[in-house]
């Protein structure tokens, strides 16, 4: 079941057409969230990011788009898919209403909610081999639009195909200054000699929710120095650890980049703290 503007529809229902601006121009935003036993992880952060992103894109925010209203619509969708008492992956998409060419005829929006089952209720650190490589065919612009979770993800699609064709589990994206900014599906953190780094938003990385939560966590624990700083490709092979973060996997350790293999000591420590934070959110 899919929720379209508050109406629950069968998955194969035709409710979008060729004039949809998300299809025509990528004029859309989305949030991907984890819900466990009816509780949304970090819902306030996702909601505030969505509202801020809609304002940046000049979308008109409906009066009823409160946290409580949207949470109730997500819960209805989860219940309709028989996932209330388990764990679910939620995708909440908003797109500008159809009309116009590049210049829209309206800034009003529609929304769509999807819910799919997940295996584990909380974040689990994967122990499998996870090799990454740089994706250098295309580059990300270091600007505010790149920090938003829009539907303009062609570079992520092409990069994912490149990774599959070359037997990598993921790729790292570069901005136009050739700095490492993120992975195809999440933010990147680098650990070296007790210092933990992640690229700043000004470099063009996604303003990720788990990125934000880990920055908060790292500011409260001792033993590590944290900094938001640009990461050059040359630093990758000198790192002790690399890990990728997103709202579904939580923390994904990288085990290999070219000839360098990595540990996961810091990732193991942080995954427990992230789960504790999620339970309290």
**Strands annotated E in the chain:** 2-4, 7-9, 28-36, 39-40, 87-96, 109-117, 131-140, 170-175, 180-183, 186-192, 195-198, 225-228, 241-246, 250-254, 256-257, 260-261
Q: Is the pLDDT of residue 46 over 90?
A: yes
Whether the model pTM is above 0.75 = yes
Q: Closest Cα partner for 94 from 32, 152, 22, 29?
A: 29
- Give the per-residue pLDDT at 281: 83
Give percent of the chain above pLDDT 90.
96
Q: Closest Cα partner for 182 from 153, 217, 161?
A: 153
- Give the per-residue pLDDT at 131: 98
The mean pLDDT value for 88-115 works out to 98
List C-alpha distances in Å: 153 to 34, 88, 92, 146, 158.
21, 23, 16, 10, 9
pLDDT digits (tens, 9 = 90+) for 56-78: 999 999 999 999 999 999 999 99
Q: Is the pLDDT of residue 246 over 90?
A: yes
**Average pLDDT along the chain:** 97
Rounded distance between C-alpha atoms, residue 247 and residue 185, angstroms: 10
Q: Closest Cα partner for 209 from 40, 59, 93?
A: 40
CA angle 202, 151, 30 (to 5 degrees): 90
pLDDT digits (tens, 9 = 90+) for 4-17: 999 999 988 999 99
CA angle 100, 102, 106 (to 5 degrees): 45
């Amino acid at each position: 079941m899919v929720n379209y503007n508050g109406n629950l529809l069968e998955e194969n229902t035709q409710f979008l057409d060729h004039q949809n601006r998300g299809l025509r121009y990528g004029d859309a935003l989305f949030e991907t969230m984890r819900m466990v036993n009816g509780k949304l992880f970090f819902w306030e952060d996702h909601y505030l990011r969505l509202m801020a992103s809609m304002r940046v894109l000049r979308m008109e925010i409906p009066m009823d788009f409160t946290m409580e209203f949207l949470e109730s619509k997500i819960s209805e969708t989860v219940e309709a898919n028989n996932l209330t008492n388990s764990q679910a992956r939620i995708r909440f998409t908003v797109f500008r209403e159809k009309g116009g060419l590049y210049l829209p005829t309206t800034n009003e929006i529609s929304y769509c909610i999807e819910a799919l089952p997940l295996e584990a209720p909380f974040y689990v650190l994967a122990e499998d081999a996870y090799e990454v490589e740089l994706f250098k065919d295309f580059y990300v612009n270091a600007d505010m639009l790149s920090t938003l979770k829009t539907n303009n993800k062609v570079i992520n699609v092409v990069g994912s195909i490149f990774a599959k064709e070359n037997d990598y589990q993921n790729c790292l994206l570069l901005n136009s200054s050739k700095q490492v900014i993120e992975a195809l599906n999440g933010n990147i953190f680098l650990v070296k000699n007790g210092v933990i780094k992640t690229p700043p938003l000004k470099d063009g990385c996604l303003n990720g929710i788990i990125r934000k939560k880990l920055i908060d966590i790292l500011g409260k624990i001792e033993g590590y120095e944290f900094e938001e700083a640009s990461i050059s490709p040359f630093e990758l092979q000198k790192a002790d650890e690399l890990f990728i973060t997103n709202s579904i996997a939580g923390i994904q350790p990288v085990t290999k980049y070219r000839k360098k293999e990595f540990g996961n000591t810091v990732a193991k420590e942080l995954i427990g703290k992230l789960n504790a934070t999620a339970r309290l959110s």
